[in-house]
Amino acid sequence: MSNLAISAPVFLWALTIHEFAHAWVAHKCGDDTALYEGRVSLNPLVHLDPIGTLCMLFVGFGWAKPVPVNPYNFRNYRRDDILVSLAGVTANLLNAILFAILFGLLMRWFEFGYLHQMAAFGVLGNLGLMFFNLIPIPPLDGSHVLYQMLPTEMKPGYRQVAQYGQFILIALIFTGITRVLIWTPTMYVARVLFGVALLGV
């Protein structure tokens, strides 16, 4: 079984649950922009980005369409911006935990095979996506959280730097820094989850 057949369905689900969580929490916080565009859905097709999907298939890493959010509709701007921003990574963490549980159950009941590999990648893929989005550089989710946590006097300076967020992120990716930022914590948390899931096996 090819690596793509194992990773693509799982990573597609990770992206879907991530974007669904953003849309659902935004709706709960008073912003129905994503709801009206059909993004409060677990249907992967409504979240797919054409270029991101091709990259996922041929490069091994991709992205979904960003969920449209109008923060002016939030009931509490600062609190709700943080909640919506953290919704996607929280969904990925919960998803990673569920995949770890599934991996442990499969190890108890069946010989190692295709489903075990998918479950293992489900842990790694969701954690990787979570830590990637926690990087505090626009347009990633972590940037919203950092901005809202900054003292008022520091926010204008951050907005100035944020204009170049995409270029900074691209530079970090090409220099390999993001690999360290993502995979170091991913492997640490994954070892904990696998260790707990395999207790008694």
Mean pLDDT of 161-185: 86
Measured at the alpha carbon of residue 110, what is the angle toward residues 108 and 112, in degrees to the nearest 5? Answer: 100
Cα distance between residue 170 and residue 163, in whole Å: 13
Catalytic residue among 19, 37, 111, 153: 19
pLDDT band for position 13 (cuts 50, 70, 90): very high
**62 Cα distance to chain centroid:** 11
> In the numeric block, which tokens belong to residue 129?
């996506």
Percent of the chain with pLDDT over 70: 94
Cβ–Cβ under 8 Å, residues 13 and 44: yes
Poorest-pLDDT segment among 119-128, 137-146, 156-165: 156-165
pLDDT at 117 over 70: yes
d(CA 62, CA 70): 25
What per-residue confidence (pLDDT) applies to 34?
95
What gap in Å lies between CA 157 and CA 169, rounded to an integer? Answer: 18
Closest alpha carbon to 26 in 79, 95, 92: 79
Please give the Cα distance from 147 to 37 (Å, whole number).
Answer: 27
Identify the three-state secondary structure at position 64.
Answer: strand
Q: Give the global pTM.
A: 0.91
Cβ 60 vs Cβ 7: under 8 Å: yes
Q: Is it the case that residue 41 has pLDDT exceeding 80?
A: yes
The C-alpha atoms of residue 194 and residue 181 are separated, in whole angstroms, by 21
Q: Read off the pLDDT of residues 56-112 as tens digits, 9 standing for 90 and up.
A: 666 656 678 889 999 999 999 999 999 999 999 999 999 999 999 999 999 998 888
The overall longest dimension of the chain from CA atoms, in Å, is 58
Q: Are 73 and 32 in contact (CB under 8 A)?
A: yes
| 111 included as an active-site residue | no
